[in-house]
Amino acid sequence: MVYVSLDGEAGPLALGLPELVRLCLVAPWWRDAPGRTAGELQAVADEYREDMPDLDRQRDCAARALGLDPAGLPSEAASLARLVELSRGPVAVACLVVGYEGDPLDPLFVSDPS
């Protein structure tokens, strides 16, 4: 699964729908993660949780409805690290998105978010 932003960034998010669903369950705020430090990421996650205080309950309920064990979901840190891994590896090369002028779009993640 590849994401292309309106800001000229693109990159792989997951290897298949199950991995994408897990990412969205665990870190629904992932789009705010590129280029942020660990402290900034924690602030984004805290703000998201402030707006949605029952996030964990809703995540667990959604996971069960999809046949997933909530205890088996990855951590937020692991999910973000996976995004960085995908953006740097051979998957990123295979999923390169080229813009109108023939240049590749900027990668979504260029540094370790943790």
Q: Provide the pLDDT for residue 31.
A: 85
Averaged over 8-15, what is the pLDDT?
91
What are the beta bridge partners of residue 98?
104
Q: Average pLDDT, whole number, for the chain?
A: 88
Among 16-25, 39-48, 81-90, 95-104, the range with the most confident prediction by mean pLDDT is: 16-25
Q: What is the pTM of this model?
A: 0.84
Is residue 35 within 8 A of residue 110, CB to CB? The reply is yes
Side by side, the strands of the sheet bearing 9-12 are: 2-4, 9-12, 106-107
Averaged over 67-85, what is the pLDDT?
91
SS3 call for 16:
coil
pLDDT band at 18 (very low <50, low <70, confident <90, very high): very high
